[in-house]
Structure 1
Amino acid sequence: MLALLASIVVPLVAAGLRSVLWALAGIAGLALAAVGVWWTLAHTGVLRALGAALSVAAPVAVLALYATFGMLGPALLSLGLWLLAVTAARTVLAPGHTAATQQAFVEAPRTPWILMNPRSGGGKVDRFHLVEKARTAGCRVALLDADQHQDVTELARQAVAEGADLLAVAGGDGTQALVAEVAAHHDVPFVVIPAGTRNHFALDLGLDRDDPAAALEALTDGVELRVDLGYAADRVFVNNASFGMYASVVTDPAYRDAKTRTTLRTLPGLLTGEDAPRLRTRADRTHVDGLQALLVSNNPYGRAVDAARPGRRERLDSGLLGVVCVRVANTAQAARIVRGPRSGQLIRLNAGEVVVESDTGTLAVGIDGEHVVLPSPVVCRSAPGALRVRVPRRRPGTPRASGAAPDWPRVVRLALGR
């Protein structure tokens, strides 16, 4: 509360009531930058060039204006104090370092089976000698062959039929989701080896993504968690299912090798052209339409997210889906997005069931980063506690609850000792 108060006092002391005008100038600069980003993404040619220039020039002009009139220092100090206030508020409201997910100590498996993708994560399987370490730990290892198509789900089912009492995956989140579905169906434990590129599921389980081999300790010194699975129609996801712009971009064959170039080339048509997706959703009893992008996550994320960098989830056993909707159709809405959730352009919801539909017969969906096409409408649901996950007893830790925004009334009550 002291930091929040100081962030207001500093500009008042420096400029008196004129500080209100300086704050409005800063907000205007952010709005113009948002417009510039919109033009850059939604248009081509001259407008794209102007947008790129505006997105840089607007904040630079505000900083130069502040510096000219001696307000740069107070403005930066005020911003720093405000960030300190928000961080402190989130910290004091967090329940603590203990993970919310219940965990139980378990015996080591007798016949563990692990599927490894040598291509994942730029070759982490070979770089960290995971095959040798897994076999030393008593695992039967199945390697995916890059030269031929293999049915991951069928391989996992066959392993269970042959007596495997634990399934594990060293690969990306998409491969993990396929094997996790089999593990949940047969009620056998599942182990995540973070050998993919992003490893979002491993991050939220508290695993060490810099040392994939450390996850093998779950076999000999592990605890078991019951976590939820998400479903988009009949497809399982451990992280999220994305609809709209992002899902459409990843369908382009050039996306894998040139992500930024492909995104900039295809976004104008997806935002303002004839190919622009217009989605509708029903999250429990809440209806939202006119959407260009939608992210449905297996448990809500703890802060503002986008499809490429979805942040972290505070827990994996809430039994809820997180929903993030994006609705920016014109320049005015792009400017308003600087107001955050109050703008109406970024909508966050939690729900047990989410229905996504469009005017077309099918929907492109990115399920844990893998592109699929599903019949519209797509019903997303949570399967609470469906998956038994084994993790090492000693691991870096799970995220602390932080929330998208602090509960300021509660912070005030705590500060006043009430």
Structure 2
Amino acid sequence: MLCAGGSAMTEQDVAVRRAFVVLNPVAGRTTPDAVTAALEQAFPAQGWAYQIYQTQPEDDVRSQVRRALDEGCDIVVAAGGDGTVSMVADALVGSDVPLGIIPAGSANVLALELGIPGTIPEAAALLAGDHTQRQLDMMKLGEQHFILQIGVGLDALMIKDTDREAKRALGRWAYMRTLARNVFGFESPRFTIVVDGKRLRPRAAQVLVANAGTLGAKPLTWGEHIQPHDGHLDLCVVKVRTLVDYPRVIYQFLSGRHPNSTNIAYQKIFRSATIASDRPLPVQADGEIIGTTPITVSVVPKAVRVVVPHAAQASPIIGMMRRAGQAQQQGEDGMTQQDEQAAQQTQHSIEQALRSIRTPEQADKVIDDLEQMSKGVSEHTVAQQVPTPESAKAAAEQVEQAAKAPAEQRPQAVIGEVAAQIAAAPSPQDQEALSKGVQQATQPSADHPAAPAHERQLLQDALLRRLGPLRKLDTAVFLAINSLPHPPLADAFFIGLTTAFNRGDAWAAGLIAASLRDSRQREVLREVLPALWLTAATVEGPIKQVFRRQRPFISVVRAVVVGRKPGNYSFPSGHSAAAFGGAYLLARHHPRLAPLLFGLAGLVGFSRVYLGAHYPGDVVSGAGVGMALAELFRLVGKGVKRQIRR
């Protein structure tokens, strides 16, 4: 079904660029009206005319796209899920016309892979505005081309058995629910796989030919080495023989350890791969069921051009901030000497900026300006759009440049620039260096007394006055705990405690030691350890990444102001989740020790606030999430054992 946009294609104005939009009206949880509104907002203002084609089940999408190519369109836009993107990309193979993506499906894997904005208005604005293009490889199966992944096994069964209503209601979680159901009773088939002439005979629960590595949602991935523009494909074979293997494989994927797992094998495909199985199995390609085994998949390098953001595209907020400011030796905390210098440089710039604040009125204006600059901007957007600094030193130099702004604009420029550089930092080590500079400038300690104290207090008071009741209480408690004396002995104790309980390692060590001394504790070990590690991996992986992607940029700005470690993805506290999850599991077996166990967990939570890593609310939420997940994974483990005994 064709419908014209507000600035429809005409032959009267040849200067107008023309877009053909393929819109799947039943994709994901969006509506055609939302896509149309975003197009109308973004395209005409940038000199684009557009025509929308709404797909119908019986239509041949590929022929519609090829007709638009013959008529001379400048871009073909796929507005839908990965299946829609794949169909449009297939029609564009061999053409120089680029593919634009408006992610409107349930998973939107390719958009995530390429860093395309996750909201429909932002994606439309990218297509209509400044962008670049990237050539991607594709996979040929029969006469069709696919762009993401072709799978046989549990993933195809999951897609086949998940109905559209569940996908619209639950999004990607609908797939997870179906997968959990299919695991029980699934018997791994024997595969015969021929890769570039080499024959393999694995028994596996999943065989995947991957052109892109993302597994459902970042940061989950089949492997960081899998890229859609590297000129080859990657074969992934997941070997699961019994139900006991599933928790191990799930944990390996959640924790990022699967590339080195004995349960998972990888093989590069430079020409083609043929996959057959001992019984016919459904095959999914880019999220759609396309047939059954056997199949042959071929590599098609540089098959299609796709519109993507610039790696270093300036955003309005950063422009405002910038205009306002117009073989190494290891040091402490595992940082290099250059990182230590970057921390000191950042500290000096922040202290210089704080000295420009003389009155409560000036502090109010600083906070008002920062709030206005950050309005409606997410940390994820800033991280994508700010030029990525080459190192922490380069980022600190940008902050130092901001400190040269006029005195009345200096605090806004420096604080905004620090927050932006932390969001854009290319590695956790660079974030750590900048965060350390922030904490040295804003927190008291034995080695680095925070200064200037009066000006810092004015700014923090101004921030507190603008927060809602709960956030104000959370921040005030953080400041009260964090401003306690920090003698070296206390710092060393809390650093050691928080290190020991990272991922629940202290609980695990205690359990292993107890089981070696008392064989009766081995059953406790078998129940507690998998649930504990799955809890820690789930919080540190998917849960934190969801909140990281959605976190408003103003949260980073506020963290700089109050001195909370701004590079940390704070909500919820992973240490607290592991500490309280472990305490809960152990207390079920040793109820008399419950006060000691939960007291120790509470001390871990306190240490996270004392060290400036988390707000109290992060600790409380981490404790609750940790105990809930621990109980969930305990029940799952119990169910797995029952199935095995049958």
What is the TM-score of this pair, normalised by structure 2?
A: 0.39
Name the counterpart of 1:345.
263
Name the counterpart of 1:56.
none
1:191-340 matched pairs, under 5 angstroms: 191-252=100-161, 254=163, 257=166, 259-260=175-176, 262-269=178-185, 271-272=186-187, 277-284=189-196, 285=198, 287-299=200-212, 301=213, 305=215, 310=221, 315-330=227-242
The change in CA–CA distance for 1:332 and 1:295 in structure 2 (over 3 A counts) is: same
- In 1, the alpha carbon distance for the partners of 2:64 and 2:298 equals 26
1:293 Cα offset (Å): 0.8
Cα distance per residue 1:132-171 (max 9 Å; x no partner):
236525232224256x632221221221122223211111
From the CA coordinates, give the structure whose radius of gyration is larger.
2
What is the TM-score of this pair, normalised by structure 1?
A: 0.58
1:196 Cα offset (Å): 2.1
2:200 corresponds to which letter in structure 1? H
Name the counterpart of 1:133.
41
2:242 corresponds to which letter in structure 1? N
Name the counterpart of 1:85.
none
1:144 corresponds to which letter in structure 2? Q
Match of 2:86 among 177, 186, 194: 177
SS of aligned partner of 2:207:
strand
SS of aligned partner of 1:246:
helix
Instruction: After superposing the two structures, state which structure 1 stretch, 121-130 or 321-330, moved more.
Output: 121-130
1:224 corresponds to which letter in structure 2? Q
Residue 122 (str. 1) matches residue 29 (str. 2) = yes
Conserved 8 A contact 1:193-1:216: no
1:346 corresponds to which letter in structure 2? I
Aligned residues: 285
- In 2, the alpha carbon distance for the partners of 1:310 and 1:335 equals 17
Identify unmatched segments of 5+ residues in structure 1.
Answer: 1-107, 403-418
Once the two structures are aligned, what percentage of the paired residues are identical? 28
The change in CA–CA distance for 1:144 and 1:246 in structure 2 (over 3 A counts) is: same
Cα distance per residue 1:298-356 (max 9 Å; x no partner):
15x38xx5899546756431111122211112257558757956653221222223221
The change in CA–CA distance for 1:207 and 1:325 in structure 2 (over 3 A counts) is: same
Q: Which has the higher contact order (CA 8 A, sep 6+)?
A: 1
1:364 corresponds to which letter in structure 2? P
1:251 Cα offset (Å): 2.0
Match of 2:302 among 385, 392, 411: 385
The change in CA–CA distance for 1:383 and 1:174 in structure 2 (over 3 A counts) is: same
- In 2, the alpha carbon distance for the partners of 1:256 and 1:310 equals 26
Q: As a proportion of its length, which structure holds more helix?
A: 2
Identify unmatched segments of 5+ residues in structure 2.
Answer: 1-14, 167-173, 314-380, 389-423, 428-646
1:158 corresponds to which letter in structure 2? R
Residue 142 (str. 1) matches residue 61 (str. 2) = no
- In 1, the alpha carbon distance for the partners of 2:283 and 2:179 equals 16
- In 2, the alpha carbon distance for the partners of 1:172 and 1:334 equals 28
Conserved 8 A contact 2:235-2:266: yes
- In 1, the alpha carbon distance for the partners of 2:43 and 2:248 equals 56
Conserved 8 A contact 2:234-2:268: yes
Match of 1:357 among 276, 279, 287: 276
- In 2, the alpha carbon distance for the partners of 1:211 and 1:204 equals 16
The change in CA–CA distance for 1:245 and 1:307 in structure 2 (over 3 A counts) is: farther
Name the counterpart of 2:416.
none
1:256 Cα offset (Å): 5.5
1:241 Cα offset (Å): 1.0
Give the alignment's Cα RMSD to 1 decimal: 3.5
The change in CA–CA distance for 1:119 and 1:133 in structure 2 (over 3 A counts) is: farther
SS of aligned partner of 2:202:
strand
The change in CA–CA distance for 1:209 and 1:312 in structure 2 (over 3 A counts) is: farther
1:214 Cα offset (Å): 3.6
2:205 corresponds to which letter in structure 1? Q
